[in-house]
Amino acid sequence: MLIRNIIYYFKEALTSIVRNGWMSFASIAVVTVTLFIFGSFFLLSINVEYVTDDIKEQVEIVAYVQNDLTEAETEQLRLKIIQMDKVEEVRFVSKDEALKRLQEQLGELAAGYGEEGRNPLDDSFEIRTALPEDIPEVAAAIEKLPGIRRVDYGTDVVKKLFSFINVIKWIVLAFMIGLALTAMFLIANTIKLTVNARAKEIMIMKWVGATEWFIRWPFVIEGIILGSLGALLPALGLTYLYGEAVDWARINLYFLPLVNPDSILGPLIKLLLLIGTTIGGLGSLLSMRRFLKV
């Protein structure tokens, strides 16, 4: 009996899809376009987060030491910093090493420095925190330590970067939720047209004793099939396009880190198929509520 019912459900669903060919095509097209945009924003958000994480990893605190400190006092200061909460790494940079770095960066522009003891730079500590978001708090604590002349970590840039990242995350999340709800609404209305055409048949089935779920299942399966087909096309399209985009970026934008396709496309395909089947099934259920209240 169960197998016979399942065969009946799928037969009715496929018959309805074929019978309402243009509407079925429109539903699939709408879901395809919606989930393609959704998937594109998903890939964009993942890569934005990946790039910003890479940038945040490079952000560090530079604490400049007072010139009159002895080596022992400098070492004691380093130990105080490394013992602070949220500090992960502390590296001492002598003024000579800092000058060497500057000369490598500026070339001939810094050629005059270093001669006859001319070195205007200070000894410093380069400090990394466990979490980049902890940098402002840790920097403020280090600045209060005796022996620290000043602290630099690009205050305005870091704060603006963290604020920008949070805003982007919320915008992308809101946009993706809006797209999913739009697709569900459109599928619900498409299925509703099919239900309207069979309203009398549904009411007769209800009157003769058919259970609500016996009536629902063909429409639910129809919605799931439409949603799945609508999700499969953007999944395949985005798989190809993202792979090509990453290959192009590796050659032309080698300085820009992007998420490896192998680590992101599998979850993306599963997510799109899950969303497609879910909004298809929910759309069908929502469109049938009125007709089952006989």
Contact present, 113 and 59 (Cβ < 8 Å): no
Q: Could you count the other beta carbons within 10 Å of the beta carbon of residue 134?
A: 15
Beta partners for 91? Answer: 126
Fill in the amino acid letter for 277.
Answer: T
What digits encode the pLDDT tens for the residues 43-84? 887 887 787 777 767 778 888 888 888 888 888 998 899 888
Do the strands 61-65 and 87-93 form a parallel or antiparallel pair, or are they unpaired? unpaired
What total number of domains does the chain contain? 2
pLDDT in tens, 256-278: 778 888 888 888 888 888 888 88
**202-216 tens-digit pLDDT:** 677 777 766 777 777
Look-up of token digits 């599998």 = 266
User: Same structural domain for residues 91 and 200?
Assistant: no
Q: Helix (H, G, I), strand (E, B), or coil: what is residue 76?
A: helix
- Residue 130 Cα distances to 82, 84, 100, 159, angstroms: 12, 11, 28, 17
Question: Which pLDDT score is estimated for 1?
Answer: 63
- pLDDT tens figures, 145-165: 998 888 887 666 666 767 777
Q: Please give the pLDDT value at position 176.
A: 72
- Domain check: are 284 and 179 in the same one? yes
**What is the Cα–Cα distance from 65 to 83, expressed in whole angstroms?**
17
Beta carbons of 147 and 66 less than 8 angstroms apart: yes
- The range of the structural domain enclosing residue 51 comes to 2-55+160-292
Model pLDDT, residue 114: 57
Is the pLDDT at 28 greater than 60, yes or no?
Answer: yes
Q: Are 168 and 138 members of one domain?
A: no
**158 vs 90 pLDDT, higher one:** 90
| Whether 90 contacts 148, CB under 8 Å | no
Both 23 and 164 in one domain: the answer is yes
pLDDT at 292: 60
| 273 contacts 35 by C-beta, under 8 angstroms | no
Number of residues that make up the chain: 294
Residues 27 and 103 in one domain: no
For the chain, give the mean pLDDT. Answer: 78
167 and 231 fall within a common domain? yes
Res 33 pLDDT > 70: yes
**Whether 19 and 94 share a structural domain:** no
pLDDT range class, residue 293, cuts 50, 70, 90? low
Residues 102 and 197 in one domain: no
Question: CA triplet 186, 276, 41: central angle to 5 degrees?
Answer: 90
The most distant pair of C-alpha atoms in the chain lies apart, rounded to whole Å, by 105
When pLDDT is averaged across residues 126-149 and rounded to a whole number, the result is 86
pLDDT bucket at 194, cuts 50 / 70 / 90 = low
pLDDT number for residue 40: 86
Could you tell me the CA-to-CA distances from 114 to 69, 96, 121, 242 in Å, in that order?
21, 8, 10, 50
CATH code at position 120? 3.30.70.3040
Q: In percent, how much of the chain has pLDDT > 70? A: 78
Indicate whether 116 pLDDT > 60. Answer: no
pLDDT at 97 (0 to 100): 83
Whether 137 and 216 share a structural domain: no
Nearest to 40 by CA among 248, 289, 189, 245: 245
Residues 119 and 208 in one domain: no
Q: Which residue has the higher pLDDT, 142 or 211?
A: 142
Same-domain check for residues 198 and 281: yes
Task: Classify the C-alpha dihedral 91-92-94-98 as positive or negative.
Answer: positive
| 290: its two tokens | 């009125």
- What pLDDT band is residue 34 in, cutting at 50, 70 and 90? confident
Which of 95, 121, 153 is a domain's end point?
153
C-alpha to C-alpha distance for 187 and 280, rounded to whole angstroms: 6
Q: How confident is the model at residue 86 (pLDDT cuts 50, 70, 90)?
A: confident
Domain final residue, candidates 106, 124, 153:
153
Is residue 79 located within the same domain as residue 109?
Answer: yes
Match 């048949």 to its residue by tokens.
201
Position 281 pLDDT exceeds 70: yes
